[in-house]
A and B are shown apart, each in its own frame.
Chain A
Amino acid sequence: MTRVAVTVNGEQREAEVEPRQLLVYFLREGLGLTGTNVGCDTSSCGSCTVHVDDEAVKSCTMLAVQADGRRVTTIEGMAAGGQLHPMQEAFRRNHGLQCGYCTPGMVMAATSYLEENASPSETEVRQALEGNLCRCTGYQNIVKAVLDAASPERVGRAIGDAVNGPEGGA
């Protein structure tokens, strides 16, 4: 067993882990943070995406011991003070999900990417999400949501109107 100390969603967490324990199981089973999903378990689908030191990584392909001393953020750490993170809000507003299984990973991958490129093109958003698979949506509204989060004034209102009906409409 190896002792690890990881800052998870701003909180220092310490545990004895087997070196072979994957980060995703440390989060899910060790800490009860089940918002991070296991999809393919082969670093392809991205549903296990979390942030390590603010960058998206696939937690099914990282050992908990590799995260020792680092800062990990999961989907549970995104909302603050009862307010959804702007990316979560954009996914909600644009209906960027159906079953929701890939959504935590999508949100984590997308927020990490916007840190690098604050105003991406649609093509860049699609490329940035190439490591995250969604079997429901056809990606249309996911891409819309990320563009919306990047630049709400550009698409947010128009899309919001389309989904919710125009403001003041009957």
Chain B
Amino acid sequence: MIPAAFDYERAESVDHAIELLGSDEEAKILAGGHSLLPLMKLRLAQPSKLVDISRVDGLSEISDEADAMVIGALTRHHDVANSDVLQANCPIVAHTAGEIGDPAVRHVGTIGGSVAHADPASDLPTVLLALGATMVVRGPGGASREVGAGDFFKGLFEPDLAPDEVLVQIRVPRHTGGWSYLKFHRRAQDWALVGVAALAANGSGPTVALTNMGDRPLRASAVEHALGAGADPATAAQLAAEGTSPPSDAFGSAEYRRELSKVLVQRALEQAMA
């Protein structure tokens, strides 16, 4: 399968990328391309121009700042998974990055690409939502803004990003308490039928977030409230599907996903709180 024709420009800097994006409403950013190119090959996406940001300097580092781990948007899943900083300070992010796709995919796919793609079946957005991560977005004229994960994922493939904005960093709070990310899929490299991120209490009560249970990653609020009120994980997990609207597809019906979410939430909570 061959994508439809497009123009190709390589950005020298974030501001250059923003300028190139601003010159063409149908332009898209190319980082690793592992979310975008498959859509382009199926002609589900037909951008008129690709702005390749993959060689922009300074967006592939992971640093430990006082209040957060800062992950450059171009950091590849492989490097997130193998990051000493993340393994020590926020192991759920490193672990989950290592569960995406397969090794060859992780050598190219980037965390920023995965986040900006906003696929509700994608693993990292759920983990970032559970952690309360912050996306740092740059726009025209050097403007910069920060968006919490709860606001960033607005809907199906719909991130809070204007056409001429670039996601540059992801700020992840430290979390060294108990955690779990579980996903169920039929074949090794498949997308999650359902995924669950669970974090043991880290100041407030335990946190639970769900993958592929709606049009965006969702907090399992009913489960969190029940746990906060003293319910045990098995009882709280029965509320996993409340407020969700999971899809039905060839791999599982919505009803199947609702049941699966209860099982996975219980297991994830038991792991996180062990």
B102-A131 in contact (CB<8A): yes
Task: Output the least CB separation between B120 and chain A (Å).
Answer: 20
Would you list which residues of chain A between 55 and 69 have a CB under 8 Å from chain B? 55-58, 61-63, 65-66
Given A19-B6, A131-B104, A131-B189, A42:B54 Cβ within 8 A: no
Task: Output the least CB separation between B18 and chain A (Å).
Answer: 20
A41-B1 in contact (CB<8A): yes
Task: Output the least CB separation between A24 and chain B (Å).
Answer: 11
| Closest Cβ neighbor of B7 among chain A residues | A19
Q: Which of B5, B10, B52, B103 contacts A56 (CB 8 A)?
A: B103
Question: When chains A and B are docked, how far (Å) is the Cα of A20 from the Cα of B41?
Answer: 9
Report if B38 contacts A (CB, 8 A): yes
A131-B105 in contact (CB<8A): yes
Given A43-B105, A55-B107, A22:B38 Cβ within 8 A: no
Report if A156 contacts B (CB, 8 A): no
Given A19-B7, A66-B54, A57:B2 Cβ within 8 A: no
Which chain A residues border B52 with CB–CB below 8 Å? 65-66
| CB 8 Å contact bits of A112-133 with B (1 = contact, 0 = none) | 1100000000000001101110
Residue with the highest number of chain A CB atoms closer than 10 Å, among B30, B40, B41: B41
| CB 8 Å contact bits of A25-53 with B (1 = contact, 0 = none) | 10000000000000001111010010010
Which chain B residues border A63 with CB–CB below 8 Å? 8, 30, 33, 37
**Size class of the B contact interface (CB-based, 8 Å):** 20 to 34
Report if A87 contacts B (CB, 8 A): no
Which chain A residues border B7 with CB–CB below 8 Å? 19
A61-B103 in contact (CB<8A): no
B50-A19 in contact (CB<8A): yes
| Closest Cβ neighbor of A48 among chain B residues | B104
Given A20-B3, A41-B41, A128:B8 Cβ within 8 A: no
Residue with the highest number of chain B CB atoms closer than 10 Å, among A18, A113, A131: A131
Which chain B residues border A98 with CB–CB below 8 Å? none
Given A19-B6, A22-B2, A57:B104 Cβ within 8 A: yes
B107-A61 in contact (CB<8A): no
Which chain A residues border B108 with CB–CB below 8 Å? 57-58, 61-62
Contacts A19-B8, A20-B4, A66-B30 known; list 11 others, CB within 8 Å: A43-B38, A56-B104, A61-B33, A61-B34, A62-B37, A66-B54, A112-B107, A113-B103, A127-B188, A130-B103, A131-B101
The 5 closest A-B pairs by CB, nearest first: A131-B102, A19-B8, A130-B188, A56-B104, A55-B107
Residue positions of A touching B, CB distance < 8 A: 2, 18-20, 22, 25, 41-44, 46, 49, 52, 55-58, 61-63, 65-66, 109, 112-113, 127-128, 130-132
Instruction: Report 20 cross-chain contacts, Cβ distance below 8 Å, ordered by A residue.
Output: A19-B5, A20-B6, A22-B37, A25-B2, A42-B1, A43-B104, A43-B105, A46-B102, A56-B104, A57-B108, A58-B104, A58-B105, A58-B108, A61-B34, A61-B108, A62-B33, A109-B103, A130-B188, A130-B189, A132-B102
